[in-house]
């Protein structure tokens, strides 16, 4: 399993300038929060990620792609809401 600090560092590298918090709950699921470090504005929170599924570099790469998709989808919805 990848350590949370390593996961956080990889996510921050891929989603810069956003910061990242990663935490593990009692049921061994991971929560990832991507946010703006200066303002604290949260762009994305994903919960319930299985620790067991984050054991390989390929799994982390897949997670990064999924988070990127979710982040882009959220930004698209925010832009559409501000235009309406």
Domain extent listing, the chain: 4-83
Please write the tens of the pLDDT for every residue from 30-76.
Answer: 999 999 999 999 999 999 999 888 888 899 999 999 999 999 888 75
* pTM of the entire predicted model: 0.80
Long-range contacts of 1-8 (CB under 8 A, 24+ apart): 1/51, 1/52, 1/54, 1/55, 2/54, 2/55, 2/60, 4/30, 7/32, 7/54, 7/60
The class that CATH gives domain 4-83 is alpha beta
């Amino acid at each position: 399993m990848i350590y949370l600090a390593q996961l956080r560092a990889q996510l921050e590298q891929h989603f810069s300038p956003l910061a990242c918090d990663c935490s593990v709950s009692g049921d061994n699921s991971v929560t990832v929060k991507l946010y703006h470090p200066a303002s604290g504005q949260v762009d994305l929170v994903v919960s319930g990620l299985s620790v067991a599924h984050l054991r390989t570099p390929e799994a982390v790469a897949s997670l990064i792609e999924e988070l990127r998709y979710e982040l882009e989808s959220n930004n698209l919805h925010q832009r559409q809401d501000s235009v309406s």
